[in-house]
């Protein structure tokens, strides 16, 4: 069965069992502070399990894109090394929110696998939770009893808490689970070793394919368990593993999900899959990581230096490194695979087609830049190796290896490999220690302690009224304390209704205050959205918690933020009009002070275009376009009306559209009532964020006034410095520049003359030692002049050994140049000479046999170095 059909069969099966089929949520998570990426099908339903909101349908099924590369689920190191863990994979799942429980979940899973897909029952094993004395939990006999109706009892195995008790996190819903494992070994192998003994033993052909989780408890902050008010089912089956079983192959990489990519890698690299283990691992790593990175970019998450972007960058770099080391690829090549991926999966995931060029360019650029890093790291490591050999050391200091990794992005595995090729090794313990120290540091910095919610009232829904009002009468539904190193002690408060906008869609959260009848006031310093509810952050709790309270949003901040949000829509419209419809939003930040908008576009936006864009937005402001808001649209209807949606955003059944003239977007943010309220729009900056992604920063309303006031102040200051010139300030500055250039040239000529004199002096100072013309001198010339001088003398003198020690700003450099004949005749080598002499100035260096330099921090050692050089002749 082809993979496409396998996926469809799963969805059809559960649709028949009255499940609503929903779309995969984006892989990058935006409103859950505990999770960066979707790592299981249940993530998008977390708010239902937590009871924060009510599902429309209590039976749901889907295929969810998952990424397991950080936090609780991190399979990165396994991927490629084994044949059944991926970074990105599809998880097929069915859910019951307080509806059916163990009986149906077990029966349907069995029916689908054995009757619909036709998997041989003798290949299957199941596990159930054996109980745990410490947790005072009994064995899951309920699940056992359902299973024994379906499968031989010797195929039902007990599993411990680690394998068979699922928890959402340190706190929250949890419960026993029951897993289904397949044994796809050959009959001979099965005859030799009983499959039951291999379950959960990391055997590549005895693997878990489906996990059925039965949520029935709630883990409290103190570690205790309480019964959940309603019981839920959460299942997850690995799509690629299922394909492996149904396509009768022994590895996920031999299914039609992966073979087109692997064939293409073979073609591009000239290495065949299935020859050597090392190359196979590299090929698997590249095929897998390409998928993860491409889907992330399509979801709007570009590689970057922090957060989710950093994780994506690390995945891609792992693939580049494997290609570099084991497939000998020193030039970018992974990007070429995007074509194959988009052809192969573009039907099921159209974003891969529509964003193909962007994905391809971003990957290519990342590859090129990381390959440069690798080259630099190699040079650095080479000089370390030379020093080690010189000093007779065979183990590279762990700290140095870590620094190579941490500062220069040079991977540990590569360091180890290169060292071993030279008969050297790396201090693994020292590396591990340095890594641990760094990790502990960052863990401490980000550790948070979250207490349980204290519930005051059972309000199931929390209404948001902030589109219409900035204040309201509320009561506290629940609150909890959160302590973190970063923010100190904070309280999170949830009201029964709120006018406060919680940070989302790039717009920052509202600030304001709560106040009770007797005037007790508490400030709300920020508002966030978390798992479907709006959480207000305060430094302390009101003295009286009962309420009622009056809550008020900071209107000034809100108005400025709204102006920036509406301006962002107009900017988006302007970009598409002026630059073209290839422009897609790739990131947005709307704050009260300014706005920032990232978008796909392949060249720098020119000055003229920026002016045109500014003019376009300001024209819409002058037209005084009124806000036309529709809070009750369906997604399809809105798109049909021409509204722009954002890929990688999770939209509900009901969407809100925001229209100002011809600008129309799906948006949950707050806006001005009329574009005239924006007053004026001014672009302050245009830069590149990544290959093919530009960023525009801009300001509106009061901020524009402040901006021009500041500019005019600067201008006055310049005039003052120029002593109120008769010419315009620009002309005066140009004249100053011209004068400055002339002076620079003059200095340059004087320097040359000085060096010329020096040259003559040096040539006549040469000493003839062992038939070699030896010259040593100390100077304060800069590096460039020293180099010119050295080559100049070398041209005019034979049998030359010249060493120049220079001191600039307290730093020392040594420059050695040798006549070419000396290299052979006297086996002298400028590279090794400077490395040796570098010790005197506490530094290192290298170069070619003919010419080499060393730099160091001990200028006082220059004389000793010159002295030592003489000894070498
Ligand atoms: P394993 O022990 O094999 O790592 P798991 O216990 O981590 O699996 P679950 O968290 O229960 O797996 O996920 C549900 C299903 O998703 C698994 O039964 C498996 O089929 C699939 N799965 C889990 N991790 C991966 C992965 N990294 N790549 C591909 N499929 C996976
Ligand atoms: Mg796992």
Q: Convert the pLDDT of each residue in 652-704 to its tens digit.
A: 888 999 999 999 999 999 999 999 999 999 999 999 988 889 999 999 999 99
Ligand 1 binding pocket includes 208 (Cβ within 6 Å) = yes
Ligand 1 pocket test target in 91, 165, 215, 285 with most atoms within 8 Å of CB:
91
Distance between Cα 142 and ligand 1 center (Å): 24
The first and second tokens of residue 613, run together, are 């864009």
Predicted confidence band of residue 534 (pLDDT cuts 50, 70, 90): very high
Q: Convert the pLDDT of each residue in 212-244 to its tens digit.
A: 999 999 999 899 999 988 999 999 999 999 999
The first and second tokens of residue 733, run together, are 């500055």
Residue 74 above 70 pLDDT? yes
Q: Convert the pLDDT of each residue in 338-354 to its tens digit.
A: 999 999 999 888 889 98
645 vs 83, residue with greater confidence:
83
The first and second tokens of residue 488, run together, are 């100190």
Q: Convert the pLDDT of each residue in 498-518 to its tens digit.
A: 999 999 889 999 999 999 988
On whether the CB atoms of residues 224 and 211 are closer than 8 A, the answer is no
Peptide bond preceding 331 in cis form (omega within 30 of 0): no
The first and second tokens of residue 383, run together, are 């000089």
87 vs 380, residue with greater confidence:
87
Q: Tell me which of 2.30.110.10, 2.40.30.130, 3.40.50.2300, 2.40.50.140 is the CATH number of domain 448-553.
A: 2.40.30.130
* 751-871 classified as CATH 3.10.310.40: yes
Which residue intervals of 327-408 are DSSP H helices? 337-345, 351-354, 356-391, 398-408
DSSP state of 688: E
Q: Whose CA is nearest to atom 3 of ligand 1?
A: 208
Ligand 1 binding pocket includes 91 (Cβ within 6 Å) = yes
Predicted confidence band of residue 197 (pLDDT cuts 50, 70, 90): very high
The first and second tokens of residue 71, run together, are 């936090």
Predicted confidence band of residue 408 (pLDDT cuts 50, 70, 90): confident
Q: Convert the pLDDT of each residue in 795-849 to its tens digit.
A: 988 999 999 999 988 899 999 999 988 888 888 899 999 999 999 999 888 888 9
CATH class name, domain 558-708 = alpha beta
Residue 446 above 80 pLDDT? no
Residue 202 above 80 pLDDT? yes
For the CA of 203, the nearest ligand? 1
The pair phi, psi for residue 587, each rounded to 5°, is: 165, 150
Residue that has been written with the tokens 């290299």 in this structure: 823
SS3 per-residue string spanning 568-619? HHHHHHHHHHHCCCCCCEEEEEECCCCEEEEEECCCCCCHHHHHHHHHHHHH
SS3 per-residue string spanning 201-243? CCECCEEEEEEEEEEEEEECCCCCEEEEEEEEEEEEEEHHHHH
Ligand 1 binding pocket includes 238 (Cβ within 6 Å) = yes
Distance between Cα 19 and ligand 2 center (Å): 27
Instruction: Write down the mean pLDDT value for the chain.
Output: 92
Ligand 1 binding pocket includes 400 (Cβ within 6 Å) = no
Predicted confidence band of residue 555 (pLDDT cuts 50, 70, 90): very high
Q: Convert the pLDDT of each residue in 610-657 to its tens digit.
A: 999 999 999 999 999 999 999 999 998 999 999 998 877 778 888 999
Of 296-310, 409-423, 459-473, the least confident: 409-423
For domain 3-256, give the CATH superfamily: Bira Bifunctional Protein; Domain 2 (3.30.930.10)
What would the mean pLDDT of 278-284 be, rounded to a whole number?
96
Ligand 1 binding pocket includes 89 (Cβ within 6 Å) = yes
pLDDT at 632: 92
Ligand 1 pocket test target in 238, 251, 255 with most atoms within 8 Å of CB:
238
Which residues line the annotated binding site?
565, 569, 667, 671
pLDDT at 809: 85
3-256 matches 448-553 in fold: no
Domain ranges across the chain = 3-256, 288-440, 448-553, 558-708, 751-871
Burial bucket for residue 671 (CB in 10 Å: 0-12, 13-18, 19+): buried
Model pTM?
0.77
Q: Convert the pLDDT of each residue in 85-118 to its tens digit.
A: 999 999 999 999 999 999 999 999 999 999 999 9
Residue 784 above 90 pLDDT? no
For residue 67, what is the enclosing H or E element?
Answer: strand 59-67
Ligand 1 pocket test target in 35, 37, 85 with most atoms within 8 Å of CB:
85
Ligand 1 binding pocket includes 781 (Cβ within 6 Å) = no
The first and second tokens of residue 796, run together, are 């005019």
d(CA 830, CA 815) in angstroms, rounded, equals 9
Burial bucket for residue 647 (CB in 10 Å: 0-12, 13-18, 19+): middle
* CA-angle at 260, arms to 257 and 265, nearest 5°: 120
* Residue 91 Cα: closest atom of ligand 1: 16
Q: Whose CA is nearest to atom 12 of ligand 1?
A: 211
Judging by DSSP bridges, how do beta strands 585-590 and 549-553 pair with one another? unpaired
d(CA 568, CA 389) in angstroms, rounded, equals 60
What would the mean pLDDT of 193-201 be, rounded to a whole number?
95
pLDDT at 460: 65
Ligand 1 binding pocket includes 75 (Cβ within 6 Å) = yes
3 state SS of 872? helix
* Residue 68 Cα: closest atom of ligand 1: 27
On whether the CB atoms of residues 432 and 403 are closer than 8 A, the answer is no
Ligand 1 binding pocket includes 558 (Cβ within 6 Å) = no
């Amino acid at each position: 069965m082809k993979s496409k059909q396998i996926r469809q069969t799963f969805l059809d099966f559960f649709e028949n069992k009255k499940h609503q089929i929903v779309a995969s949520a984006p892989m990058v998570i935006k409103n859950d502070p505990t999770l960066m990426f979707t790592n299981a099908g249940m993530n998008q339903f977390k708010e239902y399990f937590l009871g924060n909101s009510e599902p429309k349908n209590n039976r749901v099924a889907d295929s969810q894109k998952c990424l397991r590369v950080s936090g609780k689920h991190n399979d990165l190191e396994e991927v490629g090394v084994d044949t059944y863990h991926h970074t990105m994979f599809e998880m097929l799942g069915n859910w019951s929110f307080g509806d059916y429980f163990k009986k149906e979940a077990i029966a349907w899973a069995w029916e689908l696998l054995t009757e619909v897909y036709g998997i041989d029952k003798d290949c299957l094993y199941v596990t159930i939770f054996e109980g745990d004395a410490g947790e005072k939990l009994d064995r899951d006999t309920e699940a056992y009893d359902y299973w024994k109706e379906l499968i031989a009892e010797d195929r039902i195995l007990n599993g411990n808490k680690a394998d068979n008790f699922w928890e959402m996190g340190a706190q929250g819903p949890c419960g026993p689970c029951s897993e289904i494992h397949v044994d796809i070994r050959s009959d001979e192998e099965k005859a030799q070793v009983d499959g039951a003994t291999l379950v959960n033993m990391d055997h590549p052909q005895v693997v878990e394919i489906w996990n059925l989780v039965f949520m029935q408890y709630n883990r409290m902050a103190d570690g205790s368990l309480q019964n959940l008010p309603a019981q839920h089912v959460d299942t997850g089956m690995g799509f690629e593993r299922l394909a492996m079983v149904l396509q009768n192959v022994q590895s996920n990489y031999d299914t039609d999900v992966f073979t087109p990519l692997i064939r293409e890698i073979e073609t591009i690299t000239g290495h065949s899959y299935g020859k050597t283990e090392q190359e196979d691992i590299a090929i698997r790593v590249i095929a897998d990581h390409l998928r993860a990175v491409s889907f992330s970019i399509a979801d709007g998450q570009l590689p970057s230096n922090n957060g989710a972007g950093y994780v994506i960058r690390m995945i891609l770099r792992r693939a580049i490194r494997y290609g570099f080391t084991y497939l000998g690829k020193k030039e970018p090549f992974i990007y070429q695979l995007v074509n194959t991926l988009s052809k192969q999966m573009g039907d099921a995931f159209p974003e891969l087609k529509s964003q193909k060029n962007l994905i391809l360019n971003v990957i290519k650029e990342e590859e090129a830049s990381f390959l440069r890093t690798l080259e630099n790291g190699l040079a650095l490591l080479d000089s370390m190796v030379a020093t080690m050999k010189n000093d007779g050391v065979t183990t590279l200091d762990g700290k140095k290896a870590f620094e190579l990794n941490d500062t220069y992005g040079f991977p540990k595995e590569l360091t180890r490999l290169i060292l071993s090729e030279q008969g050297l090794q790396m201090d693994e313990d020292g590396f591990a220690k340095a890594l641990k120290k760094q990790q502990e540091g960052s863990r401490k910095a980000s550790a948070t302690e979250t207490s349980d919610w204290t519930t005051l009232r059972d309000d199931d829904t929390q209404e948001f009224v902030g589109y219409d009002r900035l204040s309201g009468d509320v009561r506290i539904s629940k609150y909890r304390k959160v302590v973190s190193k970063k923010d100190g002690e904070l309280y999170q408060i949830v009201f029964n209704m709120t006018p406060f906008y919680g940070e989302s869609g790039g717009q920052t959260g509202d600030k304001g205050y709560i106040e009770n009848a007797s005037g007790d006031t508490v400030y709300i310093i920020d508002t966030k959205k978390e798992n479907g509810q709006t959480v207000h952050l305060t430094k302390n709790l009101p003295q009286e918690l009962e309420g009622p309270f009056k809550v008020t949003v900071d209107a000034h901040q809100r108005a400025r933020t709204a102006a920036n949000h509406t301006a962002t829509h107009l900017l988006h419209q302007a970009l598409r009009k002026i630059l073209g419809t290839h422009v897609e939003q790739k990131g947005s930040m709307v704050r009260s002070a300014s706005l920032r908008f990232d978008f796909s576009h392949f060249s720098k936006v020119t000055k003229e275009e920026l002016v045109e864009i500014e003019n376009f937005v300001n024209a819409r402001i002058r037209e005084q376009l009124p806000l036309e808001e529709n809070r009750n649209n369906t997604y399809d209807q809105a798109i049909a009306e021409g509204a722009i949606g954002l890929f990688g955003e999770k939209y509900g059944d009901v969407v809100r559209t925001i229209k100002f003239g011809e600008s129309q977007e799906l948006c949950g943010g707050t806006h001005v009532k009329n574009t005239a309220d924006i007053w004026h729009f001014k672009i302050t900056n245009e830069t590149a964020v990544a290959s093919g992604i530009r960023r525009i920063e801009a300001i509106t309303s009061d901020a524009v006034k402040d901006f021009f006031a500041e500019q005019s102040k600067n201008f006055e200051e310049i005039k003052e410095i120029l002593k109120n010139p008769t010419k315009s300030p620009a002309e005066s500055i140009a004249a100053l520049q011209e004068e400055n250039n002339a002076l620079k040239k003059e200095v340059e000529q004087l320097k040359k003359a000085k060096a010329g004199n020096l040259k003559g002096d040096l040539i006549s100072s040469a000493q003839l030692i062992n038939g070699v013309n030896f010259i040593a001198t100390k100077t304060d010339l800069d590096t460039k002049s020293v180099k010119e001088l050295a080559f100049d003398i070398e041209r005019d003198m034979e049998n030359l050994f010249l060493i120049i020690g220079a001191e600039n700003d307290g730093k020392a450099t040594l420059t050695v140049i040798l006549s070419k004949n000396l290299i052979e005749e006297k086996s002298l080598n400028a590279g090794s000479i400077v490395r040796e002499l570098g010790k005197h100035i506490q530094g290192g260096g290298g170069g070619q046999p003919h010419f080499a330099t060393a730099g160091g921090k001990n200028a006082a050692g220059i004389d000793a170095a010159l002295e030592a050089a003489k000894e070498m002749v």
